[in-house]
Structure 1
Amino acid sequence: MAEEHEDPGVSLVTVDGIEGKLARVELPDGTLEDWRLASLPQGVKEGDVIRIDVRGGDVDVDHQETDRRHALGQRTLDGLNAQTPEGDLDL
C-alpha cells in the first residue's frame, strides 16, 4: 500500500515483489512498475518501503516505515482471524 509523504521532495514506494533482476514497486498513486533491482538499495526485499529523495538523489530502505506497515498488516490479519469461527485465515 503506497502512501503520499508530507515532504514533496520525498517519495515512498513499496517493493511488491522481486523476480530475477526486476522489482515490482508500488508508486504513491497506487500504480505498479517494474524497476531494475540494481537501481534499488542492496539487500532490498519484498515489503520494504523505499524512500526516494528527489532533491538529494538518495534512495534508501525506510526501515521504520517498513516496520510500521508490517505491524499494521499483522494487526489487520489478526483482526480478521479473530472473526473467523474456524481459526486462522491462511493467505
Structure 2
Amino acid sequence: MASEQQHEELGISHVIIDGIEGKVARVELPDGTTEDWRLSSLPKGIKEGDVIQIDVQGGDVDIEIDHDETDRRHALGQRQLDSLNAKAPDGDIDL
C-alpha cells in the first residue's frame, strides 16, 4: 500500500490493455472504467492483457509496458483459474 501511495505521489499509474480493435486499444483505467486510446499513443508491440505504466513528471509523460506487472497479473490469473479447475467435478455432470 505504501508503494502505491508513493507511486501516486510520483505521478505513476497503470492501465491494462483490455482489447485491441483496428487502430484503437480499449484500456482499463485504475478506477475500473474503460476508454479507447489510439494505438499510436501506446508503446509498439502491446497486446491484450499488457500492463502499461504511465509516469507523469513535471509535464513529461513516459509510457512503457510494465513486463513485470504483466507477468505477475498473468500468473495470478492462471493460479485462480487452476484453483477453480481443481474444484471441478470429474466425469459426467448429472443434472
- Give me the TM-score of the superposition, normalised by structure 2: 0.83
- The within-5 A match list for 1:51-90 is 51-55=53-57, 56-86=60-90
- Structure whose CA Rg is larger: 2
Hey, what does 1:37 align to over in structure 2? 39
SS of alignment partner, residue 72 of structure 1: helix
Q: Per residue, is there more helix in 1 or in 2? A: 2
Measure, in 1, the Cα distance between the counterparts of 2:62 and 2:73. 21
Would you say how many aligned residue pairs link Structure 1 and Structure 2? 83
| Gapped regions of structure 1 (runs ≥ 5) | none
| Gapped regions of structure 2 (runs ≥ 5) | none
Give the % identical residues.
Answer: 69
- Give me the TM-score of the superposition, normalised by structure 1: 0.87
RMSD: 1.2
Cα offset for 1:86? 3.7
What whole-Å deviation, never above 9, does each CA across 1:50-82 have from its counterpart, x for those lacking one? Answer: 000011411000000000000000000000000
Provide runs of 4+ in structure 1 moved above 4 Å.
none
